[in-house]
Chains A and B, each alone.
With several copies, the nearest count.
Chain A
Amino acid sequence: MVKPKLMQGNECCALGALAAGVRFFAGYPITPSTEIAEIFSKELPKLGGVFMQMEDEIASLAAVIGASLTGKKAITATSGPGFSLMQENLGFAAVAEVPCVIVNVMRLGPSTGMPTLPAQSDVMQARWGTHGDHSVIALAPSSVKEAFCLTVRAVNLAERYRVPVVLLMDEVIGHLRERVVFQPDEKVVQWERKQCLNPKSSQPFEETADGIPPFFSFGGEYRHHVTGLVHDESGFPTSQREGISRLIRRLHYKITQHLSDIVQVEEFFVDDADVLIIAYGSTARSAQAAVVRAREEGKKAGLLRLITLWPFPEKEVSTAAVNKKAVIVPEMNMGQLALEVARVLPDKNLLFPINRVDGELVTPDEILSVMGRIY
């Protein structure tokens, strides 16, 4: 076995990206994500890759998209205020189908808020932050090791589906240091973009069976046009009604068609549970602790940990909720993913959100106490 190591969430995120083949980072420093940039600034030059500190977050995502258009795997990292500024270009990446990963290490509050305190309050923003209808994938790691694995996965999903993927890490995980073990047989699998093989028979935004068009890269053998305007399959602007609808719908279907490949959840004593906790990120750890303690007390608690937040694991949540007496959703926000859970639950009276917005992680005690009240 490989020697276990003490590693930090942000560190593992950067190293995961490098392992996934990322060779371009552009970003603008912001607490609590800065370590990610710092690691890239140190490691990328060694690998011949590019680290750029841009003038702001808008430029950062723009540069990442530009780099990705040349075929490079590219990433940026930020926190709330920067993520807000990236929204317009996130929409560009969605509509122009440019693979890229945006790490958002979530901190508390709107505006400057509380830069050093954790929150999970950008969950809805990750889905809805940009204007217009679009598709996006968002993942949330619950451990330092998972920060590595999910960054790899984020890069892979971005490449496979030609979408912006948001890694929603909360500050607790980003700054957490813990024991990480890489097994000697553990391999980092890299997914590559579907490449255009023959420009005669394929188009850069074509409606393929799997919904994902082949990628034409800048500086490759075929020239093409990329625009943020609604475009037809060739990539040029269109104002044909069917063409418009086809593009916007495909941007959705290319994700919803592949839920089984994209959506990941983890079950922890779910099957026989009476009370189900649904959680993600660091709050899922509190939930795990609560489940362990509840079980010790003989209470049948279980946890459905959401790894993929968007597309929302609708099927998994409704299946897991079947026959449960209560569903507890602890979050470090005023109740965001709980809204989605409410949408999916057959009976909203079963839903018990727990919300903390004071910069502290929800505690196992709080979860147990809610559990105690209802069960």
Chain B
Amino acid sequence: MSKLWKVRLSGKGGQGLITASIVLADAAIRFGKNAVQTQSYGPESRGGACRGEVIISDQNIYYPKISHPNLLVCMSDTAVKTHAGFLAGDGILIIDETLVTQTRPIKSQFYKVPITGLCREKLGQDIYANMVVLGAIIRITEVVPENVVLETFQDYFSLEMLETNLQAFTIGLKAGEKAIKRFGEFSA
């Protein structure tokens, strides 16, 4: 029986984290896992606190919410403030180095990825940051094989959008790679 993943992607409305969580859940299901995805957001249609969550398991998933994620991605300072404390003891924390000012390790498994920065730099726009996140997650956790994620992309993006999202995903994979290498620096 493989690992039970409780993934929380947290940040602000408009960052596309809910979409990222949906793609992740879908990929997990294609990969033969069980998965549930939930989300929560405020009344603001942009910029308010927002999160997407995914549980991935081989078992039935009854309770669909996550109290203590074992993989937390934070894409804003507020997200770190709100959620970092709930990370499970052995949990992984990934922060967007570009947006989060708190970049000192606060958990044993602490990965810094300049998600939004890379996205801007390589793709000229922030809006693909969510797929960069996804790439980083996949590389760091290997919860779902890359090719299954790529397959999943077909269903979520129109032909025009597919290309750039794939690029973003690849950027994320590489960034994840790098983060793993840098991981030593921070390990407590």
Contacts and interface: CB of A to CB of B under 8 A. Distances in A.
Q: CB atoms of A and B under 8 A apart anywhere in the complex? A: yes
Interface residues of A, number: 24
Nearest to A179: B29
Contacts of A115: 43
B67 interface: yes
A177 B62 contact: no
B65 A363 contact: yes
A237 interface: yes
B65 A179 contact: no
Contacts of A289: 62-63
Contacts of B43: 115-116, 237, 239
Contacts of A292: 62
Interface string B56-96: 00000111110100000000000000000000000000000
A339 interface: no
B34 A285 contact: no
Given A6-B37, A179-B35, A285 B42 contact: no
A146 to B, nearest CB: 13
B59 to A, nearest CB: 9
A4 B26 CA distance: 10
Contact of B41 (A5, A116, A282, A365): A116
Interface residues of B, number: 20
Given A6-B22, A179-B35, A285-B62, A116 B67 contact: no
Nearest to B38: A176
Interface in A285-312: 285-286, 288-289, 292
A364 interface: yes
Nearest to A362: B63
A90 interface: no
B36 A176 contact: yes
Interface in B14-45: 22, 25-26, 29, 34-43
Q: What secondary structure prevails in chain A residues at the interface with B? A: mixed
Nearest to B36: A178
B60 to A, nearest CB: 8
Contact of A285 (B22, B37, B63): B63
B29 A4 contact: yes
Contacts of A282: 64
Contacts of A361: 63-65
B82 to A, nearest CB: 11
B63 A176 contact: no
A175 interface: yes
A36 interface: no
Sorted nearest first, the 10 A-B pairs with minimum C-beta distance are A289-B62, A177-B37, A289-B63, A288-B62, A6-B26, A178-B36, A285-B62, A179-B29, A286-B63, A6-B29
Interface of B: 22, 25-26, 29, 34-43, 61-65, 67
Given A6-B22, A172-B65, A178-B25, 15 more contacts: A172-B38, A176-B36, A177-B37, A178-B36, A178-B64, A179-B34, A179-B36, A239-B42, A282-B64, A285-B64, A289-B62, A289-B63, A363-B65, A364-B62, A364-B63
Interface of A: 4-6, 115-116, 172, 175-179, 237, 239, 282, 285-286, 288-289, 292, 360-361, 363-365
12 contacts: A4-B29, A5-B29, A6-B29, A115-B43, A116-B42, A116-B43, A176-B36, A178-B34, A179-B35, A237-B43, A285-B63, A286-B62
